[in-house]
Chains A and B, each alone.
Chain A
Amino acid sequence: MFKINNLSAGIGGKTILKEISLDIKPGQVHAIMGPNGSGKSTMAGVISGNDNYEVTAGELLFDGKDIKDLDPEERACMGVFLAFQYPVSIAGVNNMVFLQASINSIRKYKGLPPLDAFDLIELIKSKMKLINMNPDLLQRGLNDGFSGGEKKRNEILQMLCLEPKLVILDETDSGLDIDAMKAVADGVNAIRDDQRSFIVVTHYQRLLDYIKPDVVHILKDGEIVMSGDYKLALKLEKEGYGWLS
């Protein structure tokens, strides 16, 4: 489904990711954990096509096709979704209008007709209920004046509406209270199936209590230094990263 082969990438000439390889099968959840500055967000950015980062070697194979040279919008249309650690606020761009543009853009790519206003509202409202999101936020500017929890819920709402094949959650749990974290996890679990895969970037094991991973990787200094099952996350929670060196 999604394979990373010997990926090296960096920013401003500095190498951050060093020959990383991952094989994520359909339906799997892979957790990426690691200390600050280890390259977790860089990896999320590189997969989603952020041109701040430069890929210097390797492949990103999505359904067998190397996507590393594609524009971010094409990757999104193919089914790659990044839930941002810091969702951008854009005042003046109505949240509903943005969702409509996004949904219909992806539908157009898939050769589907655009959703009309009634179907669109019905779809969005049904998804909002899943994550207990305030409907008033639809009429506001995109993430404009949203609290941290509201922004993260909005990310999950977009994920639910766009139904991507590969979801990357970049520290989606950061800054969330327990209820908000549970709502986010409920959203993710609502669309888990045997075809959809997840990369969950997190510092804390708590999110993984709600979204059970199949594989846990530890990223350190731009390299995957260890992989294991859920018990690895429990060990990190208990002992930190000191024992790895």
Chain B
Amino acid sequence: MAKLVQLADSNFLNDLDQHLSHPAWYAKVTKLADQYLNSSSVPGKKDEQWRYTNLKWINGTRWTNVTKVNSGKVDQLLQSVNIDQNTIDLLCVNGRFVNPKNHQDVCFEDLKDVMTLPQDHQMNFFDGVRYRWLHDALQLNFNLKRHCHVVFLATDPHQWHNVILNTKVSQAIADNMLNISVVYPQSTLNLEVDTQLDQTSELNYMVWTAPDSKLILRHRSQLGKEARLKVFLYNFEASWVHETCHVHVGEKASVDMSGLLLPCKSHFDDKEIDVVHDSPKGISRQQFYSVARDKGKAVFHGKAIVKATAPGTDARQLAHALMLSDQCQIFSRPELEIDIDDVQCQHGSSVGQIDKNALFYLQARGINLEDAKNMIIKGFLEEVIRKLPPMWQETMRNRVAIHGFSAK
């Protein structure tokens, strides 16, 4: 904590390059993630979670570290994932929080329309932010007035996000945060995420990868009573993705997980989801839609486990997939494991081609075949895009269009 205070007190606003380089404590965090990955056993085909994964490249991967980013690089990063900087409240570049408009250090004035904070806490706020989102909980009494969009730009290959929302002292610390991590193009990211939501707190969490990047993500979440978590897994531009999410749902808590898997070329996208209900009246939703092209491969393995200690649970899974080529592959496995009667659980899965009747219907109205296909695919994806917070939906539609699904 002492180091953090020292960091905030120093004046690092003048030299932008210096400002955007790693702070010392951040290097420690990335090292932890690196060590964690290296201490894990090398996955093999016998591991259920890696069963369908192409593992050849992992052993030979060089984890290249991009240590410095300048102001232009930040713009380039944001453009590469099609994020409108005007929608960002806080931008974190390799551990430093900067103003998204001028890339200078953030000050409380920049955020006055977002949150209220008692005067005596303002000086320590950004320490708190760093500490809270990247290390451990800090108990500050502030309230968000609206959604606060925080974007993490990561150029270091190893990242560890520890998001803790604590309501024991403050009242509703974060009403809805959208936490986005952006991965540097053509890089490989090893991302460890731990989220702990205490009573009634809420978090929206998303990771966006840039084109042709690779991602290994391990997300662990613990939801307290009546906490609400939304996780958006939309890493469809990446060439290789393996995401595992493990969520413990507390009493009357809810988790809503959704994602798009759109592998093309020889890309691979694997989602392994475990939701454990071990307290009463929890709610969980898993909704993952895939569209595979070329030699793309998509894997969805969703599991909802309802323990005997979780009566009144409401758990649902939905996985739909479209196959657009002869050589693409889809593996879909929704599972329910239920130890108690007093629950509502559903799961559904479908894999197929574009409905010929739907195509004919659109063609019979004068719409040509290619546009008709794109319209149906976009409609299919729209079912999931609608789950995003409204202000991000258009951005996502643009990304989907750039990825190759645009109806004229």
A162: chain B residues at CB < 8 Å are 365-366
Which of B357, B363, B407 touches A76 (beta carbons < 8 Å)?
Answer: B363
Whether A109 touches B366, Cβ cut-off 8 Å, given contacts A88-B355, A93-B376, is yes
Complexed CA–CA distance, A141 and B361 (Å): 14
B175 at interface, CB cutoff 8 A: no
Are B364 and A93 in contact (CB-based, < 8 A)? Answer: no
A48 to B366: give the CA distance in the assembly, Å.
11
B394-408 vs A, CB cutoff 8 Å, 1 = contact: the mask equals: 000000000000010
* Among listed A97-105, A125-133, A203-211, A229-237, interface-contacting one: A97-105
Set of chain B residues within 8 Å of A91, measured between Cβ atoms = 379-380, 383
Contact: A72 with B379, CB < 8 Å?
no
A92, B383: Cβ atoms closer than 8 Å = yes
Main secondary structure of the interface of B (DSSP, over half): helix
Instruction: Say which residue of A48, A51, A90, A101 sits within 8 Å of B371 (CB atoms).
Output: A101
- A49 beta carbon closer than 8 Å to chain B: yes
Inter-subunit contact B375/A93 (CB<8 Å): yes
Q: How far is the CB of A21 from chain B (nearest CB, A)?
A: 24
Q: How many residues of chain A have a CB within 8 Å of chain B? A: 30
Contact string, B368-385, partner A, CB cutoff 8 A, digits 1/0? 110110011011111100
- Across the interface, do A90 and B361 meet the contact criterion of CB distance under 8 Å? yes
* Residue A87 at the chain B interface, CB threshold 8 Å: yes
- Measured in the bound complex, the distance between the Cα atoms of B361 and A140 in whole Å is 17
Flag if A71 contacts B363 (CB, 8 Å): yes
| Contact residues in B for A214 (Cβ distance below 8 Å) | none
> B63: which A residues are within 8 A, CB to CB?
none
User: What 0/1 readout, one digit per residue, does chain A (82-119) give for beta carbons within 8 Å of chain B?
Assistant: 10100110111100001001100110010000000000
Q: Does chain B have a CB within 8 A of A66?
A: no
Q: How far apart are the CA atoms of A98 and B289 in the complex, in Å?
A: 22
Known contacts A90-B376, A93-B375, A101-B375: A72-B364 contact under CB 8 Å: yes
Residues of B contacting A76 in the complex (Cβ-Cβ under 8 angstroms)? 363-366
Known contacts A91-B379, A92-B381, A93-B375; decide if A102 and B358 are in contact (CB<8 Å).
Answer: no
**Does A63 interact with chain B (Cβ within 8 Å)?**
no
Q: Is B108 close to A, CB under 8 A? A: no
**Residue A202 at the B interface, CB < 8 A?**
no
Q: Interface centre among A81, A101, A162, by most B CB within 10 Å?
A: A101
A73 pairs with B363, CB closer than 8 A: yes
Contacts of A71 in B (CB 8 A): 363, 368-369
Contact residues in A for B233 (Cβ distance below 8 Å): none
CB-CB < 8 A to B371: which residues of A?
Answer: 101, 105
Closest approach, in angstroms, between the C-beta of B393 and any C-beta of chain A? 12
Q: Is the CB of B361 within 8 A of A101?
A: no
Judge whether A77 is part of the interface by a CB distance below 8 angstroms: yes
User: Chain B contacts of A84 at CB under 8 A?
Assistant: 361, 364
Q: Is A73 a contact partner of B355 (Cβ separation < 8 A)?
A: no
- A109 and B368 alpha carbons, distance in the complex (Å): 11
| Contact (Cβ within 8 A) A93 B363 | no
Encoded as 1 (CB less than 8 Å from any A CB) or 0, chain B from 71 to 98 comes to 0000000000000000000000000000
B27: Cβ under 8 A from any A Cβ: no
- How far in angstroms is the closest Cβ of chain B from A31? 21
Given A73-B369, A101-B407, A105-B368, are A90 and B363 also a contact pair (CB < 8 Å)?
no
Chain B hits for A90, CB < 8 A: 358, 361-362, 375-376, 379
A105 with B366: in contact, given A92-B380, A92-B383 (CB under 8 Å)? Answer: yes
- Which of the listed residues B355, B365, B371, B375 has the most CB atoms from chain A within 10 Å of its own CB? B365
Q: Which residues of B contact A101 (CB under 8 A)?
A: 367, 371, 375, 407
Q: Is A8 in the interface zone, CB < 8 Å from B?
A: no
Q: Does A195 contact B (CB under 8 A)?
A: no
A28 within 8 Å of B by Cβ? Answer: no
Any chain B CB within 8 A of the CB of A158? yes
A49 pairs with B365, CB closer than 8 A: no
| A92 to B382 CA separation, bound complex (whole angstroms) | 5
Q: Is the CB of A92 within 8 A of B363?
A: no
The residue of chain B having its C-beta at the shortest distance from the C-beta of A164 within the complex is: B366
A90, B377: Cα distance in complex, Å:
10
- Bound Cα distance A50, B381 (Å): 26
Interface string of B132-173 (1 = CB under 8 A from A): 000000000000000000000000000000000000000000
Whether B12 is near chain A, meaning CB under 8 Å from some CB there, is no
Q: B50 contacts the other chain (Cβ, under 8 Å)?
A: no
- Collect the chain B residues with CB atoms within 8 Å of residue A49's CB: 360, 363-364
Chain B residue, CB-CB nearest to A92: B379
8 new A-B contacts, CB < 8 A, other than A73-B369, A92-B378, A105-B367, are A49-B363, A50-B360, A72-B360, A73-B366, A73-B368, A73-B372, A87-B361, A102-B362
Binding site for A on B (CB under 8 A): 355-358, 360-369, 371-372, 375-376, 378-383, 407
